[in-house]
Structure 1
């Protein structure tokens, strides 16, 4: 196991795969970090796709630890923060989340105001224990909250309570023994090839182009509406460099990427033909194809896609099963890749997932093959 040693007190970045450190950038194994928490106890986290992500996490932990009021006696911290309501504490905690992008802050606010505050907003911080957390999860289940939202809401509650636990508010972590909600990826509805063929031409030219880019190249909604002719870097390769940020409604860096970073994705001939046909029909502005319908000097806002999707659903003339959403076209890309035995490591890279673990979590059930098939294949060589 090799490690990258950072400045004293920050922690370490390492891999346990056995490869030399010089090979790490090409190695598919995730990076791990090791650090000491506010109580001086050693902790580890894993699942980082690259070294920059691991170091960024270490820096955030280090800065939080330095800014924590550790110079206050524990009794004073408990006296100050214990009686504070969850709502007040969460708002104070939110001010420290400076690393979050605008869209992530909007998502955080939504979870707080629609799920966490209604259930826990007036509760005193020193009253939390594992029973309170379990009750919150059961409340979401009884109200029919989607599993993805349940998981996201719990993650935010966990982050806030871990912060309070770091200040010494609890003798034992209120999360100890709690079973977190698990998002079931099998709930994701993937269109059939027949449904895809009907839906891609059910809207206007812009809708068809977006559907082709999502289902054929694996682009996210915001990435698809930022399509640019200059990003066709080869006949079979499209370079994803930016997206339309749904908050600012302007071009922005990719999700989980720094400004200037990109990813190359496969460009099927049919998708390239759709791009070229759209450019010939509607023209381009600095290479950008999809522009605001009322003002071509501005990017195309993603909410217009959602409006179009709802219009198609209201017609009730198309085969659109319950659970089918605009994002399902991106799920189709992953399903199509895995059904044709394309390595999941490549699929993860093309889709721009933060870690390979995310791809496994969402799409593992789509991967072909079984233990029986593997045994038969392995036996072919053993018996030769």
Structure 2
């Protein structure tokens, strides 16, 4: 007969029961999880004694009295913020916590008693956030806050278990993430002076794919016309006939990806700095570029072509640096190199650039692709357009009121003239 799951054995192979094992020195140890979610051990010199001790410990945990179980989540949030966070967070972070709770948590769980809240309630809350279009970043902040609040409630003997602890979040596709304006400022403030800063700037100011940027040579840069000619892409893959992964230069993703992209002043400065950096690296004696890739503009510190993973690792270092100074509820979410492309497109729409122009800049094969990818931004622009239209109509109506008022005054004056004439 097979041993059950987590069934322990004695030194001679005899089954002892779930969670019970015998150590090499002959003593028995039993493991269980307490109400705080921590693993606990009890010890004994005989199998009967260890079983009694384990049952006693489990009974104590199961029957541990709870006090103040009528405290609501809203009331506990106020206590938690005042007691546990008062001197541990900045004023701005406290404001951020208040916003998260009042906007995303209180409407659904604020009036529930702590002892009534179950994992299913937390799951429903997270699902509701997702259904309302709120992404992983917001869901993560809500969960982090709730986990800490419930942990502190356990410490105060208000509840036995943390209902938010094992809730899994759907991270989704972090490639589709867009930097907010504030996040964009934060990231580039932290990336200043780093090796790949020029690449980040070119990516976010042109919307080029990372493979297109990594395939650039100085011949593709036309500073006089202020344009970048995109005609190729760099990949690091194992193609048929290759012994292993290697670098390849090939055509862009689609025919429409062959395009000219305007160079902004910020982008021009980054390109010039990269030109100097690249020449300094390639002039070193130890540098031996790969044949066929000698003229690449963006290279590693060893003069080699760049692969996606190298850039991903460099971005992770920037994000980790940002997060080293932040509270858990304000962590900067991980981003991919493709995030710069989505951020560029979003900034274009926010600036009022027509979708067809954005399609051409991005090199999308169809306008539908552009529209489908950035529906959320276009929906926001619709709302702004309606507000602008309302303002426009209001101005027209105001002007109409002025005209009517002027006509009314003229009519009054004319009537007075008529009256005076008759008199």
TM-score by length of 2: 0.41
TM-score, length basis structure 1:
0.44
